[in-house]
Amino acid sequence: MNLFNGAISITGITFQVFIIFGIIFLGYVIGRINCKGVSMGTSGIFLTALLFGGLFGADIHQTLTFRGDDITSQAFQIIENIGLIMFIGSVGMIAGPGFFGNLKKNLKSYIFIGFIITLCGVLTTIACFYIGLKYVEIPAEVSALGITDRQYMIAMVTGIMSGSLTSTPAFSAAQATAATLVSADAADTIQETITIGHAIAYIFGVVGVVLFVQLVPRILKADMNVERGKITAERNVSDSAANNKGNRLELDPLGFAVFGMVAIVGIFIGMIKIPLSAKGFSGTTFSLTTTGGVLLSAIVFSHFGHIGKLSFDIDHRVLGVLQELGLIFFLIGAGVPGGASFVKYFHPLYFVFGVLITVVPMIIGYIIEKKIIKLSLLDSMGAITGGMTSTPALGTLIKSAGTNDVASSYASTYPIALICVVLGAQFLILIFAG
């Protein structure tokens, strides 16, 4: 990009960095806009990134072009993954000390909520499947490849479900399963169909949950001081690690070395694959992915606090910075490509499907949490962000709630929902493609 008749030229890596910091600045400005007490907060960065990707994105699988300058999509994937690790790792480290006490107390509730939210998502997807069969005409070029109406539509709505629940593992599992049901010539097309569905639904899948966790407390006119007191009383947080760390070895004063170790172990855990079919590792597999692996690693490291004299303690102020910075990077990395894909593939009816698959599970999940399980409001909101596998919504909830204690219910529900949505995506493809 050339400014002032070529006196200033910003290209290559410098241009990409320029765009990133520009999105951060504008995103925080937009996030400060308050409409009757509801604001986007840090998610304003996501909206700004979406707008940038939508306005200037060319082909997300290759490059994004802005005034003649190419920005590789791989750069944003790296930013997204680094941000995800920083955010989830810091959340896990903060939640770790009280996590297992809370999990032991509410394990059945979290399993139930994770399952119910996913089940509602699957059932809503099935309803959208039949609506789509009735009202959407399948492209002729798709039918020419031997792909049936049912195969095309279930691939589309399953992709929409993975986007609505912001679940990359479900997206990958759906692609792998769908490819086995069609000919080799049609495999790329059926996988691209899933990609289109995921891209269309992903934006509201993020924004919808962010708004939900802010709107519900306002609709209920909840007193956040009272709600924070309730969730704090439910946590059995142990301070033993903090009280006995005087003689322990710290690798560095800020704890970055420990965080690096947590990330390494978590990434390794996330790469472990579990076969889900008779084909073994050559067929469909399940893994915790980077998100689940780092979250688990951080919780365990933080819970135990040390090995021998080696301290795993990280100052909460440092974790707060890592949490915010990580969320920023994640939103930029996911938002720019997401905006480009959304503009390229948008279809009104499919977008409505995405809204339904996002909203219906949250409403039903909250009603069950309140009426049957009787969780406190903030615990319920945390469990919903976990059940929807929504990292951005957790960041918003932590800020609006004014406490990191909500991360514990997110961390407890997230793995259950992750497993259920992967299995749900495969179920949909296998049952309804025939």
- Residue 281 is given by DSSP the state G
Could you give the 3-state DSSP secondary structure of residue 20?
helix
Average predicted confidence (pLDDT) for the chain: 83
Over residues 121-156, the pLDDT tens digits come to 999 999 999 999 999 888 888 888 888 999 999 999
Question: So what's the pLDDT on residue 38?
Answer: 66
**Residue 39 pLDDT:** 67
Q: How much of the chain exceeds pLDDT 90, in percent?
A: 26
**Residue 6 confidence class, pLDDT cut points 50, 70, 90:** low
Mean pLDDT of 317-323: 89
Taking the C-alpha atoms of residue 102 and residue 237, their distance in angstroms, rounded to an integer, is 9
Mean pLDDT of 179-208: 86
3-state secondary structure of 433: coil
> Which contiguous run of DSSP H or E holds residue 66?
strand 63-66
Query: How many degrees, rounded to 5, is the angle at CA 72 between CA 32 and CA 331?
Result: 25
Number of alpha carbons in the 13 Å side-chain half-sphere of residue 210: 24
Q: Which of 362, 405, 369, 382 is nearest to 95 (CA)?
A: 405
pLDDT of residue 361: 96
Q: How many residues does the chain have?
A: 434
Residue 388 has a pLDDT of 93
Name which of 162-166, 274-278, 403-407 the model is least confident about: 274-278
Highest-confidence segment of 265-279, 359-373, 391-405: 359-373
pLDDT of 239 = 42
Judged against a pLDDT cut of 70, whether residue 287 lies above it is answered with yes
The tally of CA atoms less than 13 A away on the side-chain side of residue 148 is 10
One DSSP character per residue, 321-373 reads HHHHHHHHHHHHHHHHHHHHHHHHH--HHHHHHHHHHHHHHHHHHHHHIIIII
Q: Are strands 38-39 and 63-66 parallel, antiparallel or unpaired?
A: unpaired
In the structure, what pLDDT confidence band is assigned to residue 67 with cuts at 50, 70 and 90? very low
pLDDT of residue 360: 96
Task: Provide the pLDDT for residue 12.
Answer: 63
> Average pLDDT, stretch 89-102?
81
> Which residue ranges make up each domain of the chain?
73-432
Torsion of Cα atoms, 58 then 64 then 66 then 70, to 10°: -130
Q: Give the CA-trace dihedral at 332, 196, 62, 178, to 10 degrees.
A: 120
Q: Residues 6 or more apart from 190 whose CB is under 8 A from it?
A: 147, 151, 152, 155, 178, 179, 181, 182
pLDDT at 243 over 80: no
What are the backbone angles phi and psi of residue 262, rounded to the nearest 5°?
-60, -45
pLDDT at 400: 85
Calculate mean pLDDT across residues 227-253.
66
At residue 61, the pLDDT reads: 40
The residues, any chain, with a CB within 8 Å of residue 361's CB and separated by 6 or more, are: 116, 117, 118, 120, 121, 124, 165, 387, 388
Q: Residue 200's closest CA among 230, 139, 155, 245?
A: 155
Q: Is the pLDDT of residue 200 over 50?
A: yes
Q: What percent of the chain has pLDDT over 70?
A: 88
Q: With bands split at pLDDT 50, 70 and 90, how would you rate the model's confidence at 423?
A: confident
Tell me: pLDDT of 66 over 60: no
In this predicted structure, what is the pLDDT of residue 174?
85
Q: Which one is predicted more confidently, 278 or 185?
A: 185
